[in-house]
A and B are shown apart, each in its own frame.
Chain A
Amino acid sequence: MASDEVILETIDLDKSFGAVHAVRTVSWKVYAGSVNALVGDNGAGKSTLIKLISGALQPNGGGFRVRGQETRIGGPAGAFGLGIAAVYQDLALVENRDVVMNMFLGSELTRGPGQIFLDHKGMLRQAHQVLDDIHARIPNVREMVRNLSGGQRQAVAVGRALIRGGEIIIMDEPTAALGVEQTQEVLQLIDTLRSQGKTIILISHNIQQVFEIADFISVMFHGELLGTRPREKATEAEVVAMIMGKRSP
């Protein structure tokens, strides 16, 4: 369901940490309803770029255009407000809490005077609904996260992003620590999200996997964006060459 509609655009985005120029005037287009893969070697600036988009870092220069509107992303809360939600590599799940409480952590549904009481029923209902929507196989939402498989955890973290109104979901190396079966589960999850019209930004080291799932492949090298290719027009050899710093003709 890839489209040509740009939902998010970075404009000459720039970020330095002291002498390290991590992101160099990057102008990147993220396409709506598509899987936008961001690849590059360690230290290429992928993580920094993603953190700028998710509001975890503030740029030194440049800006954003979201749904055609120029905007700032003031912090994680500002990113949520724009429908941008990051699923961190370590997922930021609390092991000793159950699935529902993890999905609503930091954005709990409340009721009663002063909104201080938890709306347990409402959260349970919505958690079931969101997990059903993404076809997650989690038999019991009251299960502690510590007892879940890697794929199930990813689903919980994505569920949390969706509950926060995530339309643009950033997934940082979602399959890095997973086995074959779990990896397939996560790829299916990404596919499901795309079929529901969500935009996915996928950071991955795994070129094969990127070619399997992505609609657009963007390559970073030494803080610069070398280019973006629609998957069907790219070859693995070309992408690997770009990752190693060879500009495409």
Chain B
Amino acid sequence: MLGRLTQGELKIAGRRREQLLFLMDNGIYVVTVLLFIVFVFLAPYFFTPRNLVNILISASLAGIVTAGYTVAILAGQIDTSTQGVLAVATVTTALLFEELGFSLPMTVIFALLAGIAAGLFNGVIVVNGKIVAFVATLATQGVMLAIALFLSGGQTITIAREGLQEAVFIRVFGIPSSVWIMFFCYIVGYVLLTQTKLGAHIYATGADYRASLLSGVPVDRVIRIALVISALTAALTAVLVTARAKQSAMFGLAIAGSVDFVTALTAVLLGGFSLFGGVGRIERNLVAVLFLTILGNGLQLMNVPTGIILIVRGFALVLAVILSVLRARMT
């Protein structure tokens, strides 16, 4: 059909499409600000320093895991093993710090190494096994959850020893360190994706694997690195979640609340990323995480039942998927 359009008509169609895409991509900024304003008026205690810091803390945990998740998505890899990595890393953190008496720095290093190992494992299955990441990581997640279950003996490990929570949640300028860590992750992510050769290769590999391969991009290495980055941020999140809760958070779900694969996916899609890779900007993702956190927080303060909040969040994902598919059809 496009063949019948004249050059001029094509140009106009192209421009309209680009305008619409611009709206879809940047709408998240407007919607987030609007939502914030609405809650300032509707939700009691919403606009208080204490609650705003709370929002930032919640957002930081979801935000860090989403930052790495974004990198995987951009490389065209839907990493569904996030909860498995969270579980392994939270159990590692609690075991080493509480039961084996490791120092704080060593505990953090080993928890992050566990994350890197999980990412490498994913990479081997996806690249060497030539299995689509979505399926491969679903399977590896099962293995990781089982390892976490085995290591912890199925018990929640409570951390009585002092030092972990205090160190991880030191306030700098009145804002807890996890929030600073989140901003740091996004700055690193932004520089990585927009200013480095690896970033260019991540985008290209996600956007068109074959074309990248033919152009000499080391696609397999790029996919491996993206999966490691995704797992590494999940492990970092696990350390923070464990420190905050002072216990291992089995499956990463119960305590962290909003830290899971589905939130990360919702945020990524709301941020204008393509499920198929190669499209999106990491800074929008940060805003999408804030949007989801504000949504949950505001509704909670308005005393909306948890069930309803979950339904609303579910619809947010549905909407995000629809937007993503619309976007993919347009490009």
Q: For the complex, is A146 an interface residue (Cβ under 8 Å from B)?
A: yes
**From residue B268, how far is it (CB to closest CB) to chain A in Å?**
16
Contact across chains for B204 and A147 when beta carbons are under 8 A apart: no
- A107–B197 CA distance with the chains assembled, in angstroms: 9
Contact across chains for B204 and A97 when beta carbons are under 8 A apart: yes
Contact across chains for A94 and B208 when beta carbons are under 8 A apart: yes
Q: For the complex, is B196 an interface residue (Cβ under 8 Å from A)?
A: yes
Q: For the complex, is B210 an interface residue (Cβ under 8 Å from A)?
A: yes
Contact across chains for B195 and A118 when beta carbons are under 8 A apart: yes
Q: Which residues of B contact A106 (CB under 8 A)?
A: 212, 215-217
Q: For the complex, is A198 an interface residue (Cβ under 8 Å from B)?
A: no
Contact across chains for B215 and A160 when beta carbons are under 8 A apart: yes
**From residue B103, how far is it (CB to closest CB) to chain A in Å?**
31
Select which of A120, A146, A149 is within 8 A of B331 by beta carbon. A146
Interface of B (DSSP majority class) = helix
In the complex with contacts A118-B197, A146-B331, A77-B216 CB distance below 8 A: yes
Q: Which residues of A contact B212 (CB under 8 A)?
A: 94, 105-106
Q: For the complex, is B14 an interface residue (Cβ under 8 Å from A)?
A: yes
Which residues of chain A in 62-81 are interfacial with respect to chain B, using CB atoms and an 8 Å cutoff? 76-77
Contact across chains for A88 and B214 when beta carbons are under 8 A apart: yes
- A111–B176 CA distance with the chains assembled, in angstroms: 36
- A179–B196 CA distance with the chains assembled, in angstroms: 38
In the complex with contacts A108-B197, A118-B200, A96-B216 CB distance below 8 A: no
- A110–B197 CA distance with the chains assembled, in angstroms: 7
Q: For the complex, is A20 an interface residue (Cβ under 8 Å from B)?
A: no
Contact across chains for B197 and A105 when beta carbons are under 8 A apart: no
Q: For the complex, is B186 an interface residue (Cβ under 8 Å from A)?
A: no
- A21–B198 CA distance with the chains assembled, in angstroms: 41
Q: Which residues of B contact A8 (CB under 8 A)?
A: none
Contact across chains for B7 and A95 when beta carbons are under 8 A apart: no
Q: For the complex, is A92 an interface residue (Cβ under 8 Å from B)?
A: yes
Contact across chains for B195 and A92 when beta carbons are under 8 A apart: no
Interface code A100-127, partner B: CB below 8 Å = 1, 0 otherwise?
0100011110100001111010000000
- A108–B196 CA distance with the chains assembled, in angstroms: 10
* Nearest A residue (CB) for B198: A116
In the complex with contacts A92-B210, A97-B203, A107-B216, A116-B197 CB distance below 8 A: yes
Q: Which residues of A contact B14 (CB under 8 A)?
A: 147
**From residue A36, how far is it (CB to closest CB) to chain B in Å?**
22
Contact across chains for B204 and A105 when beta carbons are under 8 A apart: yes
Select which of B7, B10, B198, B207 is within 8 A of A97 by beta carbon. B207
Contact across chains for B196 and A117 when beta carbons are under 8 A apart: yes
In the complex with contacts A77-B216, A106-B215, A96-B200 CB distance below 8 A: no
Contact across chains for B198 and A105 when beta carbons are under 8 A apart: no
Q: Which residues of B contact A88 (CB under 8 A)?
A: 214
Which residues of chain A in 128-153 are interfacial with respect to chain B, using CB atoms and an 8 Å cutoff? 146-147, 149
Q: For the complex, is A39 an interface residue (Cβ under 8 Å from B)?
A: no
Q: For the complex, is B278 an interface residue (Cβ under 8 Å from A)?
A: yes
- A107–B204 CA distance with the chains assembled, in angstroms: 13
Select which of A105, A118, A146 is within 8 A of B215 by beta carbon. A105
- A115–B274 CA distance with the chains assembled, in angstroms: 29
* Nearest B residue (CB) for A177: B3
Q: Which residues of A contact B3 (CB under 8 A)?
A: 179
* Nearest A residue (CB) for B14: A147
Contact across chains for B211 and A108 when beta carbons are under 8 A apart: no
Select which of B197, B217, B331 is within 8 A of A96 by beta carbon. B331
**From residue B330, how far is it (CB to closest CB) to chain A in Å?**
9
Q: Which residues of A contact B204 (CB under 8 A)?
A: 94, 97, 101, 105
Q: Which residues of B contact A101 (CB under 8 A)?
A: 200, 203-204
**From residue A45, how far is it (CB to closest CB) to chain B in Å?**
21
**From residue A224, how far is it (CB to closest CB) to chain B in Å?**
28
* Nearest B residue (CB) for A77: B216
**From residue A23, how far is it (CB to closest CB) to chain B in Å?**
21
Q: For the complex, is A37 an interface residue (Cβ under 8 Å from B)?
A: no
Q: For the complex, is A239 an interface residue (Cβ under 8 Å from B)?
A: no
Q: Which residues of A contact B279 (CB under 8 A)?
A: 96
- A119–B212 CA distance with the chains assembled, in angstroms: 19
Contact across chains for B331 and A95 when beta carbons are under 8 A apart: yes
Q: For the complex, is A225 an interface residue (Cβ under 8 Å from B)?
A: no
* Nearest A residue (CB) for B219: A106
Q: Which residues of A contact B283 (CB under 8 A)?
A: none
Q: For the complex, is B18 an interface residue (Cβ under 8 Å from A)?
A: yes
**From residue B136, how far is it (CB to closest CB) to chain A in Å?**
24
Which residues of chain B in 158-208 are interfacial with respect to chain A, using CB atoms and an 8 Å cutoff? 195-200, 203-204, 207-208
Which residues of chain B in 132-171 are interfacial with respect to chain A, using CB atoms and an 8 Å cutoff? none
Q: For the complex, is A93 an interface residue (Cβ under 8 Å from B)?
A: yes
In the complex with contacts A94-B204, A95-B331, A96-B331, A118-B196 CB distance below 8 A: yes
A sample of 7 cross-chain residue pairs with beta-carbon separation below 8 angstroms, ordered by A number, consists of A77-B216, A95-B208, A95-B331, A106-B212, A107-B215, A115-B197, A117-B195
Closest 9 pairs (CB-CB, A-B): A106-B216, A106-B215, A92-B211, A92-B214, A105-B215, A94-B208, A96-B207, A147-B14, A94-B207
Q: Give me the interface of B with A, judged by CB distance under 8 Å.
A: 3, 7, 10, 14, 18, 195-200, 203-204, 207-208, 210-212, 214-217, 274, 278-279, 331
Contacts A93-B208, A101-B200 supplied; 5 other A-B pairs, CB < 8 Å: A76-B216, A105-B204, A105-B217, A147-B14, A147-B18
Q: Give me the interface of A with B, judged by CB distance under 8 Å.
A: 76-77, 88, 91-97, 101, 105-108, 110, 115-118, 120, 146-147, 149, 160, 179, 181
